[in-house]
Structure 1
Amino acid sequence: MTLVSVVVPVFNRAHVVGDAVGSLLRQTHAELEVVVVDDGSTDASVAVVEAFGDGRVRVVRHEANRGIPHARNTGLEAARGRYIAWLDSDDVARPTRIAEQLAFLKANPEVALVGACAGKLRADGRRKRGVRVPPTEHAVIAPWLLFRSAFQQSAVMARADVLRRFPYRPDLPVCEDLDQFQRIAAEHRVANLAAVLVDRRVHPDQTIRRRQDAIKAMKLKLAPPWLERLGMRFGSDDVARHVQLGNRKQASVPADADFLRWAEAWLHGLQAANAWTDAYDGQGLAVAGGWFWALACADAASTIGRGRALGRFAGSELARGLTGEAGRRWLRAALGVWRG
C-alpha cells in the first residue's frame, strides 16, 4: 500500500502546475504518489503533468469543470495512501514537507490532521517576505476556527481514514476547507507545525482574492451553527461583526470605537458561554480572543488613533489571553519561525 498520497486539484493552471508537481517529486521522502485531479481544464494543464513521465504521478480527469469540493472529493476517492496531503496547483512544497509531517503523525497517533506555516511566492515564482504562523496546539486551533481558518490548505496532511469520514461538502463552492476543518477538529485532535513547509503563490486569480464577497456570504451562513454550539445568543448583526473579527476584508461596519465596544463585549460573551458549555479549552479560547481583539484594535487605529487603539487593547482583560501559558508557547513558536 502506498504510504502517502498528495492530491493536487487543477483547473487551467498550465503555467504553474508543473512547479507544484515538480516540488513533490523532489521530496526527501520519495515513497509517495501524486494524484492530480484535472477539473475539466481547457488548457495544457494535463499535458504539463504528463510530461514528467514519472510513475508516481496519476491524473484523474473530470470531463467538465465541477468545482473545487468535487475535485477534492475525487482526489480523496482516488488516493491510495494511508496518509493524504494536499497541495494547490499554484503552490509549491518545500523539500522536507512530506517527511516532517509524516514523522509528526507517526509520533503523535492521537493527531488526525497536521498543517504547517506557509511562505509566499510572487506570481513569477520568486519568494517574497512574510510568513503567517498559525496556532500550533489543538486547544487553540479549535476555537480559532470560530473566526477563520487555522490551516493553509496547501500545507495539510491527514490520516486518510479520517478525511474520508469528513468529505468536502459539494454545496460549498467556497470555504469548503474551513467547514471540513471545523468538523474534524470537533471530533479529533489537530495540530500545526511551527515550520515553513510550503510556499503559496500570491496572484490576482487566487480564490481568496477573486471571491471575497462569496467567501463573506458563506461565512455568514456557516457561523451561526458554530456559535450555537458554544451557547451564544445572537442576531444577524452579531454574526456579520463576528465574521469581520476574523477578517477585516469582510467588514460590514466601520472599525471604530463602537465596533470595539461591541467586539470587547462579544469576545467576553464567548468566554462566558464557553464556561457553561465547555465547548472549547478555556485557555485556548482566551488566546484566540486575545488575538482577534488585537486585530480589531489594530484595524480601528486608523479611525480612533494609534495611541487610543493601543490603550484599548492593553486596557482590556482580553489582552491577557496572549500572555497565558498557551499564548506564550504560540508566540515563542512564531518568533522562532520569523527568526529562522
Structure 2
Amino acid sequence: MPHSPKVTVFMPVYNRAVFVAAAIESVLAQNFDDFELLIIDDGSTDDSMAVVGRYDDPRIRVEHNGQNRGIPFTRNRGLDLARGEYIALLDSDDRMAPRRLERQVTYLDCNPQITTLGGWVTKVNGKGRAVRNLIKPLHPDELKAWLLFRCCHANTSVMARTKALRDLRYDEDFAVSSDFELSVRLSEKYHAANMARTLTLMREHGGRITNSSGTKVQTAKVRIAERQLIALGVAFDEEDLARHCRLMRMKGKEWRDHPTFLDWAEGWLERLQRANARAGIYSQRALASVFGQVWFYSCLHASGTIGRRKALSRFTRSPLRKGVSASLIDNLAFALRG
C-alpha cells in the first residue's frame, strides 16, 4: 500500500522547461519532508518533462494528461490523485519560500477551523529578482468579504485540506479564474485565512496565463460577481454589475471619463451593506472594514480628477469611512494570533 504523506505538493506543468527545475528544487529543499511532489504534465510540447526526468527522488510522482486539457481539468485530476491530508499548490514557474510547508502544516494542525490557508507572495522578474510584494488580507471574515471584489489567495501559495477541495472541485467551465470561483464556493461552507509571511516567490513573465487572457479573466470575474450579488439579494442591472467589477481597477483617466462614478460607488456600497444586513452572508464588521478600504481608494484615485480637498471631504463625510480602522485592528490582532 502506497505511503500516505502529510502533504501532497501539486504542480501542474505545461511548457515550463525554463522554470520548472527551480520550482522542483524549492520543494525538495523544504525542511519539512513528509510530502509527495505530484507533477502532472498537461501535454507539454517543449523539454519540460526531460527536465523533470533528471530528478531521481522517490517523493516525486509524475503523471501525464496525454494532451493539453487546461488548468481546471488538471487541477481536478491532481485532487483525485493526491494522497496527502493537505494539498499544497505551486505553479511550475514559481518557487516555494524556505520553510513554507512546515509553517502551513503547523498552522493548519493548530487551527482546525481553517480549511484553506494562503500567504503573502513576492513577485520576482525573469532573473529571480524581487519586484514587489503582494499583501493579502489575513482575517477569515474579512477575506470572505473581499471575495465580493477579488480573489484573496495567491493560488500558488495555498495549502488546503484535500478532502474539502475534492468535495467541491474546480469548475471546468472556468478556463481562467477557476481558483477564484472555487474560493467563493469554499467560503460558503468553510473558513479561509492567509499567513502574514511570504510563502511563494511568483515569477512574472509574459507566458503566465493571467498575463495572456485579460478579456477572458474579466468575463469570468463578471460571472463570479453576478452569482454573489444574486445570493446577497441586492437589486442590480447590467451597468451596476459592470461598474462593480470595474470598481477596484479604476485608474486616473477612467475617473475623468466617468465623472459620476464616485457618486455611484458610495451609493452602491451602502446598498450592499443594507442587503447584507438582511441576508446575513458576511460579517457586518468585516464588510464595513472592506467597504471602508474600497471607499478610501476610490476617493484617492478620484482625487486627480476632482481635486484632493474635495476627495478628502467626500471620504470623511461618508459613513463608509468608519470601517477603515476596524480593518487595521482586526488584521493586526489576527496576525499576532497566527
Question: Does the TM-score normalized on the shorter chain lie above 0.5?
Answer: yes
Distance in 2 between residues matched to 1:112 and 1:167, nearest whole Å:
14
Are residues 1:64 and 2:67 paired?
Answer: yes
Distance in 2 between residues matched to 1:217 and 1:269, nearest whole Å:
24
Are residues 1:320 and 2:319 paired?
Answer: no
Q: 1:52 to 1:284 in 2, by over 3 A?
A: same
Distance in 2 between residues matched to 1:13 and 1:331, nearest whole Å:
38
How far off its partner does 1:331 sit?
Answer: 5.9
User: Which residue in the other structure is 2:331 paired with?
Assistant: 330
Q: 2:174 aligns with which of 172, 193, 197?
A: 172
User: Which residue in the other structure is 2:107 paired with?
Assistant: 104
Distance in 1 between residues matched to 2:212 and 2:299, nearest whole Å:
27
User: Which residue in the other structure is 2:287 paired with?
Assistant: 285
Q: Is the 8 A contact 2:139 2:330 kept in 1?
A: no
User: Which residue in the other structure is 2:128 paired with?
Assistant: 125
Q: Which segment is superposed worse, 254-263 or 178-187?
A: 254-263
User: Which residue in the other structure is 1:11 paired with?
Assistant: 14
Q: Is the 8 A contact 1:14 1:45 kept in 2?
A: yes
Q: Which segment is superposed worse, 100-109 or 117-126?
A: 117-126
Distance in 1 between residues matched to 2:287 and 2:17, nearest whole Å:
42
How far off its partner does 1:311 sit?
Answer: 3.2
User: Which residue in the other structure is 1:45 paired with?
Assistant: 48
Q: Deviations over 1:192-215 (max 9, x none)?
A: 111111111112222222211111
Distance in 2 between residues matched to 1:253 and 1:172, nearest whole Å:
30
Distance in 2 between residues matched to 1:61 and 1:307, nearest whole Å:
59
Q: Is the 8 A contact 2:9 2:36 kept in 1?
A: yes
How far off its partner does 1:255 sit?
Answer: 6.5
AA aligned to 2:76 is N
Pairwise mapping of residues 143-162 of structure 1 onto structure 2 (< 5 A)?
143-162=145-164
How far off its partner does 1:328 sit?
Answer: 2.0
Distance in 2 between residues matched to 1:197 and 1:72, nearest whole Å:
20
User: Which residue in the other structure is 1:24 paired with?
Assistant: 27
Q: Deviations over 1:93-119 (max 9, x none)?
A: 101111111001000111111110101
How far off its partner does 1:319 sit?
Answer: 1.9
Q: Deviations over 1:165-199 (max 9, x none)?
A: 11111110111001100011110111111111111
Distance in 1 between residues matched to 2:70 and 2:205, nearest whole Å:
20
Q: 1:86 to 1:298 in 2, by over 3 A?
A: same
Q: Is the 8 A contact 2:36 2:61 kept in 1?
A: yes
How far off its partner does 1:3 sit?
Answer: 0.7
How far off its partner does 1:86 sit?
Answer: 0.2
Gaps of 5+ in 1: 336-340
AA aligned to 2:141 is A
Distance in 1 between residues matched to 2:256 and 2:238, nearest whole Å:
16
Count matched residues.
332
Distance in 2 between residues matched to 1:299 and 1:314, nearest whole Å:
15
How far off its partner does 1:256 sit?
Answer: 4.5
Three-state SS of the structure 1 residue aligned to 2:202 is strand
Are residues 1:93 and 2:96 paired?
Answer: yes
Aligned-pair identity (%): 38
Q: Which segment is superposed worse, 293-302 or 8-17?
A: 293-302
How far off its partner does 1:290 sit?
Answer: 1.4
User: Which residue in the other structure is 2:143 paired with?
Assistant: 141
Q: Normalised by the size of structure 1, how large is the TM-score? A: 0.93
User: Which residue in the other structure is 2:304 paired with?
Assistant: 302
Q: CA RMSD in A?
A: 2.0
User: Which residue in the other structure is 1:338 paired with?
Assistant: none
Distance in 2 between residues matched to 1:108 and 1:262, nearest whole Å:
40
Pairwise mapping of residues 184-203 of structure 1 onto structure 2 (< 5 A)?
184-203=186-205
User: Which residue in the other structure is 2:84 paired with?
Assistant: 81
Q: Normalised by the size of structure 2, how large is the TM-score? A: 0.93
